Amino acid sequence: MKKRIFAAALAALGSGLVHAGPADYLYTPHVEYGEREFEFRAGTERDRGKEAATAGVLGFGVGVTQSWFTEVAVEFERERGENFRYEAFEWENKFQLTEPGEFPIDLGVLVEIERARDHAEGWELKLGLLTQKDFGKLQVNVNLLSERHFDAEARSVTELGYQWQAKYRWRPALEFGLQGFGEVGKWDNWESAEHQEHKIGPAIFGKLPAGGRQAIKYDAAYLVGLTRATPDHTLRLAVEYEY
């Protein structure tokens, strides 16, 4: 079953526009069976000194099995000069393909479906290949993501994006590192360098025990755009209550 899921994800990566929104976060390949979580994510982008977009996400997820995590979430967004409004409904599914340390690289697959408030955008399907490698206290993640819209008024193509992270696990309550997000355009015909989106910056992470299986997790990052097509600055934050 895991092999079929892995093969399907690889095929999909070569088959829809990936935009890393201000509230997007980095996916990891691991699943914790039985864990339930409430999640809040927020982020804001600024370009040329002005707010470009602000977004917030509220979600609830559960580790259904030892290899399957699922989450439902609602997204709210405010474009420059507008009020906050409901933007989309998301259903995220993550499948862990390998046990931690079983192979040189830990692998997982992401399958996410989104229905926008504006039905003219159709249905958005996001597929991802998730990887993680540990070097002692250093954790490195590299993810490839593809995205495509279906049943939309406008024609859609499959576009390719990526995420990466290097995190030093200093102590459970405080870890630190770097994160990067980007989009390169159509999977088989990348945009010119100036039209691609790339951002990078420092990040902090932590997990605070709250008794029993309860804990508060957080991660935050300040990202700087590397191209003209990327917002100059992005500030993002994610907080989870796990139980």
Please write the tens of the pLDDT for every residue from 73-83.
999 999 877 88
The predicted structure's pLDDT at residue 198: 97
Q: What is the CATH number of the domain that holds 26?
A: 2.40.160.40
Long-range contacts of the stretch 79-84 (C-beta < 8 A, 24+): 79/52, 79/53, 80/50, 80/51, 80/52, 80/53, 84/54, 84/56
What percentage of residues in the chain have a pLDDT greater than 70?
92
Give the integer Cα–Cα distance in Å for 221 and 230.
Answer: 16
The predicted structure's pLDDT at residue 11: 42
Instruction: Write out the two tokens for 77.
Output: 């967004």
- Mean per-residue pLDDT of the chain: 91
The predicted structure's pLDDT at residue 144: 98
122-146: average pLDDT? 97
User: How many C-beta neighbours within 10 Å does residue 178 have?
Assistant: 15
pTM of the predicted protein model: 0.89
**Could you give the number of structural domains in the chain?**
1
User: Whole domain around residue 136: which residue ranges?
Assistant: 2-242
Strands (E), the chain: 36-47, 50-63, 68-79, 85-96, 106-116, 123-135, 138-150, 159-171, 174-186, 189-190, 197-209, 215-225, 233-242
The amino acid at residue 37 is E
The distance of Cα 41 from the centroid of its chain, to the nearest Å, equals 11
Q: Which has more confidence, 129 or 121?
A: 129
